[in-house]
Amino acid sequence: MNMITSSSLVFSLLFCLMVSMLLLPLPSNGADPDPLQDFCVADLNASTSVNGFPCKPVSKTTSDDFFFDGLSKEGNTSNPFGANLTAGNVLAFPGLNTLGISMNRVDFAPGGINPPHSHPRASESGVVIEGKLLVGFVTTNNVFYSKVLSAGQMFVIPRGLVHFQLNVGEGKALAFTAFNSQLPGAVVLPLTLFASMPSIPDQVLTKALQVDKDVINTIRSKFGF
């Protein structure tokens, strides 16, 4: 595949992803409330606290507020999970404030994993750009759905369900994900259970996971605790 054809494929995939993202926040079940003005660029330094962010004065709004290049750079996957998530949410891209959408870039080293996690405030759609990923999620009835996806294939994760992506290809992998929330949040199970501050009591974890305290301490040590 030549460079022009490859670039066209990437742009086509991202266009499909953006369309699916825009279709997710329907008025009846949108994750974020509908905006009441054309735009509301977030003032991240405001002293007031609301469910979202106050608007930056229109007089101080510039073209740069509506453009973001943070997803163009490959992430550093030198970590225990072998994956790196670059967030394109309202905290990184204030122009998304009140619009109910955001995107992430996820880079995977060979064998890397975006570990089991959930998004409490959004459904997720994604597209594989490079490599091969095993994508799976578990329902509230403990039913597991999964499939191995290659470049050009999409997936959807219903709001709040635990899910993951694992690189099962021979090389690196890349995916872009989209959400119907400006700040979907993430509950990453390994970090939630074993790296919280303060720590979840040992007696809770040993009872819940049916293991000895030594096992809990061994897992905690993997995260620097």
pLDDT by 10-residue block (mean), the chain, 225 residues: 59 63 51 81 83 90 97 96 98 95 98 98 97 98 98 98 98 98 96 95 97 96 82
pLDDT at position 157 is: 98
pLDDT at position 223 is: 86
pLDDT at position 224 is: 76
Binding-site sequence positions: 104, 114, 117, 119, 124, 163
* Phi and psi at residue 216, to the nearest 5°: -60, -45
Binding-site sequence positions for oxalate: 104, 114, 119, 124
Binding-site sequence positions for Mn(2+): 117, 119, 124, 163
pLDDT at position 27 is: 45
- CATH numbers and ranges of domains, the chain: 32-185 (2.60.120.10), 188-224 (no CATH)
pLDDT at position 4 is: 54
pLDDT at position 151 is: 98
pLDDT at position 29 is: 52
